[in-house]
């Protein structure tokens, strides 16, 4: 089941902001041009009360006021009105529409649906009391809390190149939520957290896992640590459902980060995640989108996800008409194939050293977890 509505595009920080609704427009038009787009389920927007299951009243009041053009003087204290997360008219409803999509995904899972793809959301930086990093309300956490409220154990897997900090902190002391984030190390990149030693507290101890990766990590090293860590953690935790933030900003074309994944890695990752869901989560999986700031790379990664999610054969070339129209609109050439071409970027000289460091980080994480492991 796919969840989407046109109004997702109302979540718009303006024409020069990287979190652009053009990504969704390109993606849905590509899937239409490829002839694989099926009418999605249109979700209701989340209510104020639903947002308040994970956010403070103070934050919500400020978002609502800013939506009407009334600016609290302490907005920046709440992460709003900043360069990253500026305010715009109607932002409260726009954010609630995205939350509604992910929450509807959770409801569908509870109603018996196995696989849900929410073509939006993934706003993993939003915290209990603070908007952050393009994220106003945390749709993932609202959905996760809905699932745990119904008695389910939830494993959250964050593929975005940035640490999934909002989701981690909101559920930091919860034993029924496993969070697993693979990201570029916070030594260099926003939000600066996601260190191996952040392993949870109280009932959540040993259930918050972070694998910070070296800048310029490539497909092979990423897949090596992913395949070592993720199934191991899922097997130990035994979730009822897997929630996946499928950010595409670890792609090598991404302008905001420095990992070097290609579409080949993403194809493998999406297939593995579906296998893991079958093996460890009763087949139940809810995907959302997330970051991804190269239009060219992001749209192809998410088109891959859509195809693999539906078990469709992968097209090789993208439709000519679609390419011509978008190249004209964006004023630049686009990759004409779904997959990246071979040798798409120059060889990385420190390749082996990077892979070795990532292996060491994984070792440190497993050592730290050993006494607490996921019980
Ligand atoms: Zn990101």
> Under a CB-based contact definition with an 8 Å cutoff, are residues 24 and 120 in contact?
yes
Distance 247 CA to ligand 1 centre (A): 6
Rg (CA), the chain: 19
Distance 132 CA to ligand 1 centre (A): 11
Distance 159 CA to ligand 1 centre (A): 9
Name, in order, each residue with C-beta under 8 angstroms of 138's C-beta and a sequence gap of 6 or more. 54, 55, 99, 123, 124, 125, 126, 127, 166, 167, 170
Distance 288 CA to ligand 1 centre (A): 13
**What is the pLDDT at residue 139?**
99
Q: Token digits for 118? A: 């929410």
pLDDT in tens, the chain (375 residues): 999 999 999 999 999 999 999 999 999 999 999 999 999 999 999 999 999 999 999 999 999 999 999 999 999 999 999 999 999 999 999 999 999 999 999 999 999 999 999 999 999 999 999 999 999 999 999 999 999 999 999 999 999 999 999 999 999 999 999 999 999 999 989 999 999 999 999 999 999 999 999 999 999 999 999 999 999 999 999 999 999 999 999 999 999 999 999 999 999 999 999 999 999 999 999 999 999 999 999 999 999 999 999 999 999 999 999 999 999 999 999 999 999 999 988 889 899 999 999 999 999 999 999 888 655
> Smallest Cα–Cα separation from 116: which of 239, 276, 265, 289?
289
Active site residue 77: no
Name, in order, each residue with C-beta under 8 angstroms of 355's C-beta and a sequence gap of 6 or more. 217, 220, 221, 224
Distance 259 CA to ligand 1 centre (A): 11
Distance 69 CA to ligand 1 centre (A): 28
Distance 190 CA to ligand 1 centre (A): 9
Give all domains of the chain, ordered by start, each with its CATH number.
2-369 (3.40.800.20)
**What is the pLDDT at residue 243?**
99
| Catalytic residue (one of 55, 125, 146, 171) | 125
């Amino acid at each position: 089941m796919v969840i989407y509505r046109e109004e997702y595009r109302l979540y718009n920080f303006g024409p020069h902001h990287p979190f652009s609704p053009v990504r969704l427009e390109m993606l849905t038009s590509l899937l239409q041009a490829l002839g694989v787009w099926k009418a999605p389920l249109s979700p209701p927007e989340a209510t104020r009360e639903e947002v308040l299951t994970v956010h403070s009243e103070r934050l919500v009041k400020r978002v609502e006021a800013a939506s009407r053009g009334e600016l609290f003087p302490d907005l920046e204290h709440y992460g709003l009105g900043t360069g990253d997360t500026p305010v715009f008219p109607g932002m409260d409803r726009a954010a609630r529409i995205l939350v509604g999509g992910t929450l509807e995904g959770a409801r569908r899972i509870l109603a018996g649906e196995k696989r849900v793809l929410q073509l939006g959301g993934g706003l993993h930086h939003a915290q209990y009391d603070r908007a952050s990093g393009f994220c106003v309300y945390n749709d993932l956490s609202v959905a996760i809390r809905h699932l745990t409220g119904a008695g389910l154990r939830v494993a959250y897997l964050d593929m975005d190149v940035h640490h999934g900090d909002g989701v981690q902190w909101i559920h930091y002391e919860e034993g029924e939520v496993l969070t697993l984030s693979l990201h570029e190390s916070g030594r260099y990149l926003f939000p600066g957290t996601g260190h191996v030693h952040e392993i949870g507290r109280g009932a959540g101890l040993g259930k918050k896992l972070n694998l910070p990766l070296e800048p310029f990590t490539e497909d092979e090293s990423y897949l090596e640590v992913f395949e070592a860590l993720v199934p191991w953690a899922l097997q130990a935790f035994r979730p009822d459902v897997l929630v996946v933030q499928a950010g595409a900003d670890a792609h090598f074309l991404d302008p905001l980060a420095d990992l070097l994944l290609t579409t080949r890695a993403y194809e493998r990752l999406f297939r593995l995640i579906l296998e893991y869901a079958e093996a460890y989560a009763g087949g139940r999986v809810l995907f959302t989108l997330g970051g991804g700031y190269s239009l060219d790379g992001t749209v192809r990664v998410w088109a891959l996800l859509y195809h693999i999610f539906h078990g469709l054969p992968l097209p090789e070339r993208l439709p000519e008409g679609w390419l011509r129209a978008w190249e004209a609109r964006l004023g630049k050439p686009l990759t004409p194939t779904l997959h990246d071409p071979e040798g798409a970027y120059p060889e990385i000289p420190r390749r082996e050293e990077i892979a070795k460091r990532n292996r060491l980080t994984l070792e440190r994480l497993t050592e730290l977890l050993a006494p607490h492991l996921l019980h």
